[in-house]
């Protein structure tokens, strides 16, 4: 069983160890060591990376109580090696994990929102709370968490038996057996945790809540600490700066400008739809006049410029008001859209079946009924798709290409 250096010295960046076992983990080289500072994926915190000698450590797992190091290439059993942890990655994880303890503790103390899970992503981390939150509660928790950070409180590590821990004010009861590792921030939090943490809260730098959403009756809160908080602010600033430049407004005016654009776009969509419906009446006559006839069925397959999916459907509905038409209309833009339809009296033609055959040949997606089907996302040249669907319509109408 490896000695886990990070339990007592999470600031350890380099150490020496002996390879106790060298083996294949699946198809990857792996070793266990008599002692290690590499943290394995656990408790919402990702694994460390680094090197053992000159061999890169690409992943670290906790399996059956043993720390398994997955390597770029094998190391000999019994070899003495120097391990070096990628400190940039480790310190980032320490900032996020300690920040999470503080934020979770503050949410619970201020408004009774208990943390039920924690996940550390590559740029943002999340906590899932037992209850939904509002903007005021989030702002209060964020302010209180940052006050704890700026007070530069010590982050202590201690070990306790289950009986000793039961008498302590742990934020969450531990389900583990045996000796518990406790992480404490005076006046803020005391939790059983096996993760790595900074030595004092000031090393977190700052914590920023980037957003929240309702999830399963509770709330998922996204946040960033330290360097991640700086990068999150930088990304937000770039988005705001670009948006105000394009819209020619000041930053405080940006929300109102976006709402105005959305309202204008909605009105424009309504106007386009109305115009397409009026145009469809006249276009339908021209299309029917130029249609080819197969066994008494007027077959039309066309690419219609300037039409979206809704417009194609409007045009198809207008053409198939006559009793003897089968049509396929494609958009000219990207992504490619298609509508297949037939008149009510042509029960022998199944638009949904024809669309499924197109999907089988060109990919994409879609669906519908016998009288009308629509889809999109096809892979291939629009001319090839048009030729294929034209042939399918003619075959369905009883003709030949």
- How does pLDDT run across 154-169, given as a tens digit for each residue? 999 999 998 898 899 9
Asked if the model's pLDDT at residue 400 lies above 60, the reply is no
Q: What is the value of pTM for the model shown?
A: 0.71
Q: Per-residue confidence at 401, pLDDT binned at 50, 70, 90?
A: very low
Nearest to 397 by CA among 337, 327, 339, 330: 327
Average pLDDT for 180-202 = 96
Q: Residue 286: CB partners within 8 Å, gap ≥ 6?
A: none
pLDDT of 381 strictly over 70:
yes
Mean pLDDT of 370-395: 89
**For 128-150, what is the mean pLDDT?**
96
* Torsion over CA: 98, 100, 104, 106 (sign): positive
Q: For position 78, what pLDDT does the model report?
A: 95
Pairing state between β 35-36 and 3-4: parallel
b/e sequence 303-316, b meaning 16+ C-beta within 10 Å:
bbeebbbbbbbbbb
Rounded Cα distance, 362 and 83, in Å: 52
> Helix, strand, or coil here: 287?
helix
Mean pLDDT, the chain, as a whole number? 91
Mean pLDDT of 133-140: 96
With a cut of 60, say whether residue 182 has pLDDT above it.
yes
Give all strands (DSSP E) within 174-324, no chain letters.
Answer: 180-185, 189-192, 207-215, 218-225, 292-294, 297-304
Nearest-CA neighbor of 177 among 161, 193, 164, 190? 161
What percentage of the chain has pLDDT greater than the value 90? 64
pLDDT for residue 15: 98
Residue 153 pLDDT: 98
May I ask the CATH architecture of the domain 91-243? 2-Layer Sandwich (3.30)
Q: What is the pLDDT of residue 347?
A: 82
For the domain 270-396, what is the CATH code? Answer: 3.10.310.40
Q: What local confidence, expressed as pLDDT, does residue 75 receive?
A: 95
Question: Quick one: pLDDT at residue 387?
Answer: 92
Q: Locate the domains of the chain by residue range.
A: 3-85, 91-243, 270-396
pLDDT value at 64 more than 60: yes
What is residue 170's predicted lDDT score, i.e. its pLDDT?
93
Which tokens hold the place of 114? 């208990």
State residue 289's pLDDT score: 83
CATH of domain 3-85: 2.40.30.130
Q: Is the confidence at residue 304, as pLDDT, over 90?
A: no
More confident residue, 312 or 82: 82
Per-residue pLDDT band at 252 (split at 50, 70, 90): confident
Q: How high is the pLDDT of residue 310? A: 84
């Amino acid at each position: 069983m490896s000695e886990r250096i990070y339990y007592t010295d999470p600031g350890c960046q380099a150490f020496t160890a002996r390879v106790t076992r060298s083996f294949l983990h699946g198809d990857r080289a792996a070793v266990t060591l008599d002692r290690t500072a590499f943290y394995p994926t656990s408790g919402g915190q990702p694994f460390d990376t680094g090197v053992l000698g000159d061999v890169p450590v690409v992943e670290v797992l906790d399996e059956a109580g043993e720390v398994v190091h997955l390597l770029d290439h094998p190391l000999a059993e019994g070899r003495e090696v120097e391990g070096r942890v990628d400190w940039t990655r480790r310190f980032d994880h320490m900032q996020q994990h300690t920040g999470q303890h503080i934020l979770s503790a503050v949410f619970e103390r201020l408004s009774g929102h208990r943390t039920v899970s924690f996940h550390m992503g590559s740029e943002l981390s999340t906590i899932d709370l037992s209850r939904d939150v509002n903007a005021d509660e989030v702002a209060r928790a964020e302010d209180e968490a940052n006050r704890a950070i700026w007070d530069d409180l010590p982050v202590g590590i201690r070990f306790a038996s289950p009986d000793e821990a039961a008498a302590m004010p742990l934020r969450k009861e531990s389900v583990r057996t045996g000796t518990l590792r406790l992480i404490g921030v005076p006046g803020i939090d005391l939790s059983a945790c096996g993760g790595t943490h900074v030595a004092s809260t000031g090393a977190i730098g700052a914590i920023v809540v980037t957003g929240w959403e309702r999830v399963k009756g509770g709330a998922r809160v996204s946040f960033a600490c330290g360097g991640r908080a700086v990068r999150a602010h930088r990304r937000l600033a770039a988005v705001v700066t670009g948006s105000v430049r394009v819209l020619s407004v000041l930053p405080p005016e940006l929300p109102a400008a976006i709402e105005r654009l959305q309202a204008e776009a909605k009105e424009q969509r309504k106007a386009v739809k109305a115009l397409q419906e009026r145009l469809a009446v006249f276009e339908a006559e021209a299309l029917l006049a130029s249609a080819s006839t197969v066994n008494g069925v007027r077959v039309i397959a066309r690419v219609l410029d300037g039409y979206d999916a809704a417009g194609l459907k409007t045009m198809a509905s207008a053409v198939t008001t006559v009793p003897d038409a089968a049509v396929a209309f494609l958009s000219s833009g990207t992504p490619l859209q298609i509508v297949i339809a037939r008149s009510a009296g042509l029960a022998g033609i199944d638009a949904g079946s024809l669309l499924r055959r197109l999907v089988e040949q060109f990919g994409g997606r879609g669906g519908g009924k016998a009288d009308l089907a629509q889809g999109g996302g096809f892979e291939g040249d629009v001319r090839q798709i048009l030729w294929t669907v034209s042939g399918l319509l003619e075959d369905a109408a009883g003709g030949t290409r």
